[in-house]
Amino acid sequence: MSLIPPSPNWDNGYFGAIDPAPYIKERYAPLTYTTWQGSPTTGKGSTTTGKD
Protein backbone atom coordinates (compact mmCIF):
# COMPACT_ATOMS: atom_id res chain seq x y z
CA MET A 1 0.00 0.00 0.00
CA SER A 2 1.19 3.50 -0.70
CA LEU A 3 -0.08 7.05 -0.73
CA ILE A 4 0.80 10.33 -2.37
CA PRO A 5 1.62 13.10 0.15
CA PRO A 6 0.55 16.73 -0.42
CA SER A 7 4.06 17.67 -1.64
CA PRO A 8 5.37 14.50 -3.30
CA ASN A 9 9.00 13.91 -4.15
CA TRP A 10 8.57 12.80 -7.77
CA ASP A 11 12.21 11.70 -7.92
CA ASN A 12 12.02 9.17 -5.06
CA GLY A 13 11.82 6.22 -7.47
CA TYR A 14 8.18 5.46 -6.63
CA PHE A 15 6.51 8.27 -8.64
CA GLY A 16 6.04 10.32 -5.46
CA ALA A 17 4.34 7.56 -3.44
CA ILE A 18 5.46 6.82 0.11
CA ASP A 19 4.95 3.95 2.56
CA PRO A 20 2.37 5.08 5.19
CA ALA A 21 3.39 2.43 7.78
CA PRO A 22 5.85 4.65 9.72
CA TYR A 23 3.09 7.23 10.26
CA ILE A 24 0.43 4.85 11.59
CA LYS A 25 0.37 4.91 15.40
CA GLU A 26 -2.45 2.43 16.18
CA ARG A 27 -3.33 -0.95 14.75
CA TYR A 28 -6.49 -1.23 12.67
CA ALA A 29 -9.49 -2.66 14.49
CA PRO A 30 -13.21 -2.07 14.06
CA LEU A 31 -14.79 0.04 16.78
CA THR A 32 -17.72 -2.33 17.29
CA TYR A 33 -18.72 -5.76 16.09
CA THR A 34 -21.95 -7.76 16.02
CA THR A 35 -22.24 -11.52 16.27
CA TRP A 36 -25.31 -13.66 15.57
CA GLN A 37 -26.26 -16.82 17.45
CA GLY A 38 -29.18 -18.78 16.11
CA SER A 39 -30.62 -20.19 12.95
CA PRO A 40 -30.26 -18.12 9.79
CA THR A 41 -33.64 -19.32 8.43
CA THR A 42 -36.08 -19.36 11.35
CA GLY A 43 -35.51 -15.81 12.52
CA LYS A 44 -34.94 -16.91 16.12
CA GLY A 45 -31.66 -15.98 17.70
CA SER A 46 -29.85 -13.17 19.37
CA THR A 47 -27.23 -10.60 18.51
CA THR A 48 -24.37 -9.51 20.67
CA THR A 49 -22.67 -6.18 20.08
CA GLY A 50 -19.27 -5.71 21.60
CA LYS A 51 -16.58 -3.09 21.60
CA ASP A 52 -12.86 -3.61 21.19
Q: Is 41:29 a contact under the CB 8 Å cutoff?
A: no
Per-residue pLDDT, 19: 86
Average pLDDT over residues 38-51: 65
Q: Is 9:16 a contact under the CB 8 Å cutoff?
A: yes
Q: Is 19:2 a contact under the CB 8 Å cutoff?
A: yes
Per-residue pLDDT, 3: 81
Which band of pLDDT confidence, cut at 50, 70 and 90, is reported for residue 44?
A: low
pLDDT digits (tens, 9 = 90+) for 8-28: 888 988 888 988 888 778 777
Per-residue pLDDT, 24: 79
